[in-house]
């Protein structure tokens, strides 16, 4: 397949590009600031805020599938409007679309969210992701909207960098014990997204790990895997802080998992350290 990975220079995008290329697909990956350095990938500068760049990219690459892994948290123009423009363009060009969304579309009021749950965001980021989802489902009903949770790697995600900084005293801060998510490993997530890209799935899919853990428990698991001093990680409660955001959001991926060959492991599994 010819695959266009929008946001290919990002954390998830790089893993998608790496796996897709290793599987023999022809891969073009986009960036806005800096091209990646994965061999065998065509890199293309493309800004989702510029409709003409989206059109040019699709004309140039003529992909079978577009995977949108791009976002900028505080930027509605990228995360909502840009994603919607991309969906319209992909539909016009007859390309399959896999759009990556987030558990941030949920408030946490209901705690457990399966694929049928209705978004009720409570942050600007969550609202941008929910707006993109709603529009894409109308404009591109054959698209996959894949919601995921905290994306963890083998040391290279932002979440792991934060834990390293806290555990070594480079940064001060707390990890919340009441802020609960279902983290996923980036290799599982990329594999599942590529599986969906080459399938005939449509609509909302959930691609989160099987374990619900707090930010603090996640930090301890990362610290233990990386042989850092987990006692350096200060526990706190988001409910007692001024920090806005959902508390307990558990994406239930059971329905999607039944349709996949890829196993979405839980954080306690993929962060387990052999002793
Ligand atoms: N990370 C998580 O824990 C998490 C959790 C839930 C959902 N998600 C979702 O997963 C997806 C990937 O997240 P990630 O952590 O891999 O993101 P990331 O590392 O921050 O990468 C974001 C990508 O988007 C690109 N980008 C930013 N602004 C753009 C614009 N205006 N036009 C086109 N591309 C733009 C960036 O390009 P440059 O770097 O070149 O600017 C980069 O390639 C996103 O949809 C996010 O909402 C992530």
Q: Minimum mean pLDDT among 11-15, 89-93, 160-164, 271-275: which range? A: 271-275
Looking at the structure, tell me whether residues 172 and 224 fall in a common domain. yes
Looking at the structure, tell me whether residues 250 and 219 fall in a common domain. yes
Q: How confident is the model at residue 242 (pLDDT cuts 50, 70, 90)?
A: confident
Looking at the structure, tell me whether residues 100 and 128 fall in a common domain. yes
CATH of the domain at 110: 3.40.50.720
Please give the sequence-ordered ranges of beta strands (E in DSSP) within 114-253, or none if there are none: 144-148, 151-152, 174-176, 180-181, 184-185, 203-207, 213-214, 234-236, 250-251
Counting from 1 in the atom list of ligand 1, the atom nearest the Cα of 8 is 43
Residue range 127-138: average pLDDT?
Answer: 98
Ligand 1 pocket: which of 58, 69, 123 to mutate (most atoms <8 Å of CB)? 69
> Which residue has a Cα nearest atom 26 of ligand 1?
70
The count of other CB atoms within 10 Å of the CB of residue 248 is 18
> Which residue has a Cα nearest atom 15 of ligand 1?
11
Domain that holds residue 230: 152-181+210-270
In terms of Cα–Cα distance, which of 81, 67, 273 is closest to 189?
67
Q: What is the pLDDT of residue 275?
A: 57
Looking at the structure, tell me whether residues 192 and 220 fall in a common domain. no
Looking at the structure, tell me whether residues 156 and 192 fall in a common domain. no
Q: What is the pLDDT of residue 274?
A: 64
Residue at 120 is within a domain: yes
Q: Decide if pLDDT at 159 tops 80.
A: yes
Ligand 1 pocket: which of 30, 70, 79, 192 to mutate (most atoms <8 Å of CB)? 70
Per DSSP, the three-state class of 195 is helix
Q: How confident is the model at residue 262 (pLDDT cuts 50, 70, 90)?
A: very high
Expressed in angstroms and rounded, the spacing between residue 28 Cα and the centre of ligand 1 is 16
**CA 18, CA 8: separation in Å to the nearest integer?**
10
Residue at 201 is within a domain: yes
Residue range 161-176: average pLDDT?
Answer: 97
Looking at the structure, tell me whether residues 24 and 83 fall in a common domain. yes
Looking at the structure, tell me whether residues 237 and 129 fall in a common domain. no
Q: Decide if pLDDT at 245 tops 90.
A: no
In terms of Cα–Cα distance, which of 194, 196, 216 is closest to 204?
196
Residue range 176-198: average pLDDT?
Answer: 98
Looking at the structure, tell me whether residues 163 and 99 fall in a common domain. no
Q: What is the pLDDT of residue 243?
A: 85
128 lines ligand 1 (CB under 6 A): no
Angle at 160 between CA 11 and CA 271, to 5 degrees: 100
82 lines ligand 1 (CB under 6 A): yes
Looking at the structure, tell me whether residues 139 and 215 fall in a common domain. no
Would you say 16 and 8 are in contact if contact means Cβ atoms under 8 Å apart? Answer: yes
What does pLDDT average to over the chain? 97
Looking at the structure, tell me whether residues 190 and 72 fall in a common domain. yes
Residue range 217-242: average pLDDT?
Answer: 96
Q: Decide if pLDDT at 25 tops 60.
A: yes
> Which residue has a Cα nearest atom 24 of ligand 1?
70
């Amino acid at each position: 397949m010819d695959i266009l990975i929008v946001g290919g220079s990002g954390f998830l995008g790089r893993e998608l590009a790496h796996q897709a290329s290793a599987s023999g697909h022809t891969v073009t990956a986009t960036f806005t600031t800096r091209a990646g350095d994965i061999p065998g990938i065509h890199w293309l500068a493309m800004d989702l805020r510029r409709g003409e760049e989206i059109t040019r990219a699709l004309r140039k690459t003529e992909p079978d599938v577009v995977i949108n892994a791009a976002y900028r948290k505080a930027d509605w123009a990228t995360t909502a409007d840009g994603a919607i423009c991309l969906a319209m363009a992909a539909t016009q060009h007859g390309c399959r679309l896999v759009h990556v969304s987030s558990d941030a579309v949920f408030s946490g009021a209901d705690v457990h969210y399966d694929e049928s749950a209705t978004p009720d965001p409570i942050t600007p980021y969550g609202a941008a992701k929910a707006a993109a989802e709603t529009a894409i489902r109308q404009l591109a009903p054959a698209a996959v909207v894949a919601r995921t949770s905290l994306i963890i790697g083998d040391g290279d995600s932002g979440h792991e960098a934060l834990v390293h900084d806290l555990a070594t005293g480079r940064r001060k801060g707390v990890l919340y014990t009441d802020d609960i998510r279902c983290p996923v490993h980036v290799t599982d997530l990329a594999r599942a997204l590529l599986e969906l890209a080459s399938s005939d799935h449509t609509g909302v899919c959930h691609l989160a790990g099987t374990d619900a853990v707090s930010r603090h428990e996640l930090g301890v698991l990362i610290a233990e895997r990386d042989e850092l001093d987990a006692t350096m990680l200060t526990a706190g409660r988001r409910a007692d802080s001024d920090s806005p955001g959902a508390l307990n959001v558990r994406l239930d991926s059971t329905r999607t998992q039944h349709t996949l060959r890829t196993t979405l492991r839980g954080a306690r599994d993929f962060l387990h350290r052999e002793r």
